[in-house]
Amino acid sequence: MPSTESPESAESTESAESTEAASPAVTEKSGGPDRRGVAIAAVALLACGGLIGYGFLNTDEKPKPRAVPTAEVTYEVTGQGTAELSYLARSESGKATVEKRVALPWKKTVQVPLGKAPTIGLVLDGKGGQASCSLAIRGKHVQLATASGSYGRATCTGQLPAGQH
């Protein structure tokens, strides 16, 4: 049976079919978007997000400690026997350094952060005796104190200016 369609209508049907087959966003089976393309885009997006997160959270560079201006402080303890000493040295937090059973006489020069109060404390042991502590800031004598007797105590302290070199 001969075709009743005109050559023009057959051509237009053929043209419409070839347009649908060429479209990458439409699959033949589902008629919806290509899921492979969506999956690839999602994986790429997740990978980029992961790399950005890794860069923020895992840096090998550690923050450099900031330079704290300091002044030279000399602590000295004279006397005989042993004592427990606590003194302020280079520390931003201002925590004291403690040394136990120190043989006297003893002398130490340290750097103390400006704005902190350099302090040395001494406690004699149970045998007692007599000992003196002294403190010098930038070579200038500031204070002297004496401890005596069993577990005698003495403290020397000074004042550093805030923020000057």
> What confidence tens digit (pLDDT) does each residue in 119-137 have?
999 999 999 899 999 999 9
pLDDT at residue 144 greater than cutoff 50: yes
What residues form DSSP beta bridges with 137?
73, 140
pLDDT one-digit tens code per residue, 72-108: 999 999 998 899 999 988 665 667 889 999 999 999 9
CATH 2.60.120 fits 70-157, yes or no: no
What residues form DSSP beta bridges with 140?
137
Q: Is 54 exposed, middle or buried (0-12, 13-18, 19+ CB in 10 A)?
A: exposed
Q: What is the mean pLDDT of residues 133-158?
A: 94
pLDDT at residue 14 greater than cutoff 60: no
Residues with Cβ within 8 Å of 111's Cβ and at least 6 positions away in sequence, in order, are 70, 71, 72, 73, 89, 90
- Global confidence as pTM: 0.57
Span(s) in the chain for CATH 2.60.40: 70-157
How far apart are the C-alpha atoms of 41 and 59, rounded to whole Å? 27
Q: Residue 12: its pLDDT value, please?
A: 47
How far apart are the C-alpha atoms of 32 and 102, rounded to whole Å? 85
Q: Residue 19: its pLDDT value, please?
A: 47
Kindly report the average pLDDT of the chain as a whole number. 78
